[in-house]
């Protein structure tokens, strides 16, 4: 996890920097040397590492959206709260779309993860069938944003989940997701 945190920090700093071309070339050479050290241990999928870290549930550690050990994952940390799922994220320059605001595609990927995981913590997990996202206000960078997911309704093969993204009292975006329900 420490490596992922350091790599995320490096990526955020590189995405918004006044460093000279010379310093950036030096950083790139160091990054290349580190990548060469890891190359002999590369695997074709993240799942093997996840299973080593924690068995079947370990795949969440390497998840592309919430994975603490995945340096490409946005800074989204999710916590079950009864039947709700709460996600907290502070996006930085690496996640910037319009100046000063989070890219909508990154919010969409978080909505997808929140939708499926909200269904999952309620025993209704499955794959995403569809997402409908409505962007209300730009979500600012460098402040904590709060995702909240709740199951709205269930059917024989479908679970409808509602997820909101807020900055304080401001509703930045909302999502209604349809999950193809797999009942235990």
Cα–Cα distances (Å) from 62 to 35, 90, 103, 161, in that order, read 18, 19, 22, 24
Report the pLDDT value the prediction gives residue 47, as an integer from 0 to 100.
79
For the ranges 3-12, 107-116, 169-178, which has the lowest average pLDDT?
Answer: 3-12
Check pLDDT > 90 for residue 54. no
Task: List the domains of the chain with CATH numbers.
Answer: 1-71 (no CATH), 74-184 (3.10.129.10)
Contact 87, 149 (CB under 8 A): yes
Stated pTM of the model: 0.87
C-alpha 61/C-alpha 23 separation (Å) is 33
The C-alpha atoms of residue 71 and residue 164 are separated, in whole angstroms, by 25
**pLDDT (tens digit, 9 = 90+) per residue, 84-141?**
999 999 999 999 999 999 999 999 999 999 999 999 999 998 999 999 999 999 999 9
Dist. CA 43–CA 55, nearest whole Å: 17
Phi, psi at 89, each rounded to 5°:
-145, 140
For the chain, percent of residues with pLDDT exceeding 90:
68
Q: What is the pLDDT of residue 74?
A: 85
Full DSSP string of 115-131: HHHHHHHTT--EEEEEE
**Dihedral in degrees, nearest 10, Cα atoms 58, 59, 64, 66:** -40
Q: What pLDDT does residue 183 have?
A: 62
Task: Please give the pLDDT value at position 184.
Answer: 59
More confident residue, 134 or 48: 134
């Amino acid at each position: 996890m420490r490596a992922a945190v350091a790599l995320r920090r490096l990526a955020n700093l590189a995405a918004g920097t006044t460093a000279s071309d010379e310093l950036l070339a030096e950083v790139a050479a160091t990054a290349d040397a580190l990548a060469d050290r890891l190359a002999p241990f590369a695997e074709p999928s993240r799942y093997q590492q996840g299973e080593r870290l924690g068995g079947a549930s370990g795949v969440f550690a390497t998840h592309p959206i919430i994975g603490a050990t995945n340096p490409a994952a946005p800074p989204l940390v999710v916590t079950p709260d009864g039947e709700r799922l709460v996600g907290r994220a502070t996006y930085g320059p690496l996640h910037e779309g319009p100046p000063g605001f989070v890219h909508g595609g990154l919010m969409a990927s978080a909505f997808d993860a929140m939708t499926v995981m909200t269904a999952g913590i309620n025993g209704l997990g499955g794959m995403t069938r569809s997402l409908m996202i409505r962007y209300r206000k730009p979500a600012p960078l460098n402040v904590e944003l709060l995702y909240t997911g709740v199951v709205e309704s269930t059917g024989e093969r479908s679970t409808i989940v509602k997820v909101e993204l807020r900055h304080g009292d401001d509703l930045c975006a909302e999502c209604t997701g349809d999950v193809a329900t797999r009942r235990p």
